[in-house]
Amino acid sequence: MDLVSSLRPVPTTPFKSLPSELVLEICKHLSPHDLWFCARPVSQRFHMCAQEVLMRKMFQQHQTHVSWCCFWCSLGDLALKTVLNDIAPLFPLTQLCMEPLSDDVLISKQAFADMCSTIVKREQKIRISVGGEDTVTVKAGEIKRILRSPIQNLQQRRHVFLMFYFARLRKERRGWRVASMFGWAAHLVGFVVLGAVLLVTAIAVVGIFWVGLETYKMVRSLYGVLRRPVQALFYATDA
């Protein structure tokens, strides 16, 4: 019985018999998320066709938007352009869109960056979104560590980035609720700490100014009290 069952042909899925041209046409209508997570595991042919279409969609057709996670995550020594030095060569100039901070926020970032980095040691974070659909949050140094390998081939470096991007997307979607709660709490704590530091600094500045003003008043009053006896003594000596 086992021999008979072993000789039976293994059933194949209907997708395996599709021609490559049709598979490519199907993949063209799928999003990058569906290509990576749904189309690639179907078969070897789907894997190859989805990989080819995915490369075109990610690095030629869809625009990739990069921005700071938030104002708090932008505080630090690095500028957004500096953070993207390793990822920018992977994309054509017209496909990578950086979303800088507004002028007012940029001034605040320059003013408080050193203070906040001294008080709370945290790495800057950026958001990467492909086609305006899937967004992942990445630490500033993560991409540098991932792409630090000696691979010089552009296609291989792009594939490494895709593996990192979709692995992070899967991780964030699995723990989205818990992670979002902790992320919100971390941002809230950061803003509370920053507000407390600014309040203490403002109180200290006002206190120093008040002490200096009161000291000036006391010295001036003492000078006014001692001035008359000194002048009277000076006039009596002249007389």
pLDDT band at 118 (very low <50, low <70, confident <90, very high): low
Residue pLDDT, tens place only, 124-183 = 888 888 876 778 888 888 877 877 766 668 888 888 888 889 988 888 877 655 555 555
Domain boundaries, the chain: 1-61, 62-174, 181-224
Average pLDDT over residues 226-230: 70
Tokens (6 digits) for 16: 């395996």
Neighbours of 172 (CB within 10 A): 16
Q: In the prediction, which pLDDT does 16 show?
A: 67
Confidence check: pLDDT of 209 > 80: yes
Token pair 């708090």 is found at 72
Tokens (6 digits) for 56: 């075109």
Q: Is the CB of residue 88 less than 8 Å from the CB of residue 124?
A: no
pTM here is 0.63
| Between 236 and 93, residue with greater pLDDT | 93
Q: Residue type at 80? A: L
Q: In the prediction, which pLDDT does 135 show?
A: 85
CATH, domain 1-61, list 3.40.50, 3.40.1350, 1.20.1280, 1.10.3470: 1.20.1280
Residue 226, sorted as left (phi over 0), alpha (psi -120 to 50) or beta, turns out to be alpha
Q: What average pLDDT is seen over the chain?
A: 75
Residue pLDDT, tens place only, 26-75 = 888 898 888 888 888 888 888 889 989 998 888 888 888 888 887 777 77
